[in-house]
Amino acid sequence: MIIKSPQPFIRGLQLGLLLASLCGMHNLNAQQSVPFQGGVPLAPTGLADQPLGDGPFLYSTAEGMDIRVVVLTKAIEYPTSLAFLPDDKILVTTRPGLIRLLDKGILQPQAIDGGPDTRFSGKSGDPGAVHGYIDIALHPDFQQNRFVYLSYTKVLDADTRVLAVGRATWTGTALADFNDIWVADADVNSSGRIIFDANDKLYITTSGRGDPQSLNTLAGKVLRLNDDGSIPADNPFVGRADARHEIYTYGHRSALGLAVHPRTGQVWQNENGPNGGDEINILKPGLNYGWPLVSLGRTYQGPWQAGRPTHENFEAPIIYWMPAIALSGMTLYTGTALPKWTGDVFVGGLRTGEIPGTGHIERILLNENLEELRREALLVDLRQRIRDIRQGPDGLIYLVTDEKAGAVLRIEPAK
């Protein structure tokens, strides 16, 4: 009897097992099908809505400087922005359309009177959410004129809401004589970050249904106005019949951060990409920043927004994010109370990689040529949506959290 070797059979069996294993790996690595709503993947909720502790919270940081995060209050419903009055008071705006006052760090029980009527709807962070009060700024000559500026959602009728900016006088306890100085067209209903530059010019960010590439619409733009709402004679498109004269720059998406560089005086802007492509831009008069023709992000469905990431023929950002962190407020830190951070850029993030419950702040270190050297994520473990971040007159850093039990936090040196 001749006995045949089992080796070919064994080798065949091993090959079959290997192929089966590879097929199994392929199935395991296959892209999941996820539910969409309105063209956007439904966000997971496993990390969302985490309560904030009482603090203070102590952290070691990358630059070898320990910090403490103090909770001044966590009883403001969806705060959106803050402004520092000269007498150790802070005005805080909110989504529902209230202004709250912190006096020496203590939240006062009554809201500030004198603000305009507004409307908010939807859950903050969801597509289509409407914010009531959006941003607040003091006039550069506030000590003399007491002017307070407010951006907000103005309701024109049952079906129409637009972005507006108004001005009031601070009496010491309330707003008086509030009047709109600028009201958007019907196709502009959101963004609304405001800031004054060193020449007392007011900048407004806009988004909405209009074409960001068209100079005949105000959507997707940064606008530049005088402090009374009139148009400066030196705006880049003044005198052109084919352009809106309010426009300073164009080709923007949803811009939620503005800051003035302390050395150059230039206005810096940040804006949200779609699924990635958040960016910081230095605004230069009349330039096109590309949206939606170019982007460093992907669409919510997955493909690249612009085919291949590029900013060729358009003004490119100086800093960008992939994945997105949903950029919000921004400050360029000039203080000395936190000396390892002097000169750094700080931004708020509402969520990272489209996952709720992953908000935080980021610090970016730049060289003398404004080129990024490194960045650091901070306060990640608090899992809060950071809506605004500002440097206070005391040289400390303040931020607000976009939560139902919204907080005002202060970052200071650890003792």
The per-residue pLDDT for range 9-31, each reduced to its tens digit, is 445 545 555 555 555 555 555 56
Tell me the C-alpha distance between 275 and 396, whole Å: 32
Q: Which helix (H) or strand (E) holds 16?
A: helix 7-28
**Alpha-helical runs (H) found in 107-188:** 142-145
Confidence of residue 7 (pLDDT cuts 50, 70, 90): low
Question: What span, in angstroms and rounded, lies between the C-alpha atoms of 72 and 67?
Answer: 16
Could you give phi then psi for residue 27, rounded to 5 degrees?
-65, -40
Query: How is residue 7 annotated by DSSP?
Result: H
- Cβ atoms of 352 and 46 within 8 Å: the answer is no
Examine residue 56 and say whether the peptide bond preceding it is cis (omega within 30 degrees of 0): yes
Name the more confident of 319 and 23.
Answer: 319
- Compute the distance between CA of residue 261 and CA of residue 202 in angstroms, rounded to an integer: 15
Say how far apart CA 326 and CA 384 lie, in whole Å: 12
> Do 75 and 107 contact (CB within 8 A), yes or no?
yes
d(CA 239, CA 148): 30
Query: Which amino acid, 406?
Result: G
Please count the other Cβ atoms lying within 10 Å of the Cβ belonging to residue 129: 13
Least Cα distance to 193 among 76, 319, 91, 81 occurs for 81
Position 308 scores a pLDDT of 74
The pLDDT confidence band at residue 190, using thresholds 50, 70 and 90, is very high
Tokens standing for residue 148:
């307070």
Question: For residue 302, what pLDDT band results from cuts at 50, 70 and 90?
Answer: confident
pLDDT value at position 169? 98
In this structure, the number of other CB atoms found within 10 A of the CB of residue 107 comes to 16
Average pLDDT, integer, range 79-100: 97
